[in-house]
Amino acid sequence: MAKDNLSVVLHKVREEYPQCDIVLENREKPEPGDNDVVLQMHSVGICGSDVSYWVKGRIGDFIVENPMVIGHEAAGKVLKCGKNVHHLKPGDRVAIEPGYPLRDDEFSRHGRYNLSEVFFCATPPDDGNLQRFYRHNADFCYKLPDNVTYEEGALIEPLSVGIHACRRAGVTLGHKILICGAGPIGLVSLLIAKSMGASKIVMTDLFDTRLKMAKELGADHVIKIDRSSSPKTVAEQVAHLLDGMPDRTIECTGAESAIQTGIYATKSGGVLLLVGLGPAMVNVPIVDAAVREVDIRGVFRYCNTYPTAIKMLESGQVNVKPLVTHRFPMEESEKAFHVTKSGEAVKVMLKCDPNDQNP
């Protein structure tokens, strides 16, 4: 079989950073299983987790031990359908939900399939979708409306994190919100929190460019952090800007100091939601949270979010287009990864179709 499926593959080759090389390989074109579709890929965004696998060769217990195709924020066009697929047809443009449960268990039966044993694109040992052609479970491919672009389809993946985060935090009308981190996940959390009725939102970050984007997308206030900033001092700044402590804090960095800020800042009886994944062990003022009944909640990816995200994009309720600041053909993937790692970009989009480099 001809190997004409250009793919972007991580190879772990060293112990110093970056531990992986980014290699362009021609692999075999996939064929659909009975419940699958084969897609011609169009747009794939680079996520911070992709960069972590490239640089560190791992995220927690997920370790790149064998060559792995990278990429999980993606959209493409249906080329072929398996015999049991009836809701899609060749030519349909779809967004790809990268994770799906591998068996029917108590979590999937209760609608929390993100907590089940799952296949997830570009999470070892599972290959991702930064390829010309890719096969996926058809039930987790969602047809895009005509007014939603491929790039918006790819951005449904990070947008889903924001939807799940705001649902888990219980964001509602009138809430004051602190969002730590103005990267892509912080920014989509901003968009969703505003759409759910948050009254005032303050965002923190290390980079002026990201804070500028946050203001443009609707943040009421921003605070530039430096690595010496005291968590208690930042919490006091937040309370001053919001005219009171935030009802909900959404922590998107994983940094120990930001988690500490989140606890000190959040209103008694409020919720601190942990989205960012940092070190496995962190020091936090847990007694401060306990005696003030600040609930600390976690999120793991998302579930049941893609239909909601598509409706929000179709109606214009949220606009994710400004998040894409850089575009590269997939042949320039290594350059794109360096740009992402530098922090100069908000969202880098890779284009997989050589005949269509449009959004």
**167-176 pLDDT, tens per residue?**
999 999 999 9
Rg over CA atoms, the chain: 20
**Strands laid side by side in the 221-224 sheet:** 221-224, 200-205, 176-180, 248-251, 271-274, 295-298
Name the one residue in this structure whose structure tokens are 């075999």. 28
- In the chain (359 residues long), the average pLDDT of successive 10-residue segments reads 88 95 97 98 96 94 95 98 98 98 94 96 98 98 98 98 98 98 97 98 95 97 94 98 98 96 98 93 97 97 97 97 97 97 93 91
What letter represents residue 121's amino acid? C
Strand ranges in 140-288 using DSSP code E only, listed in sequence order: 141-143, 176-180, 200-205, 221-224, 248-251, 271-274
pLDDT at 2: 67
Nearest residue to 114 via CA among 291, 294, 305, 320: 305
pLDDT at 278: 86
The pair of structure tokens assigned to 111 is 């609608």
Nearest residue to 64 via CA among 1, 138, 132, 14: 14
The pTM for the full model equals 0.95
pLDDT at 186: 97
Dihedral (C-alpha) 264, 266, 270, 273: value to the nearest 10 degrees?
-90
Q: CA-CA distance, 209 to 189, in Å (whole number)?
A: 17
Q: How many CA atoms lie within 13 A of 140 on its CB side?
A: 22
The pair of structure tokens assigned to 137 is 């479970």
The pair of structure tokens assigned to 52 is 């972590």
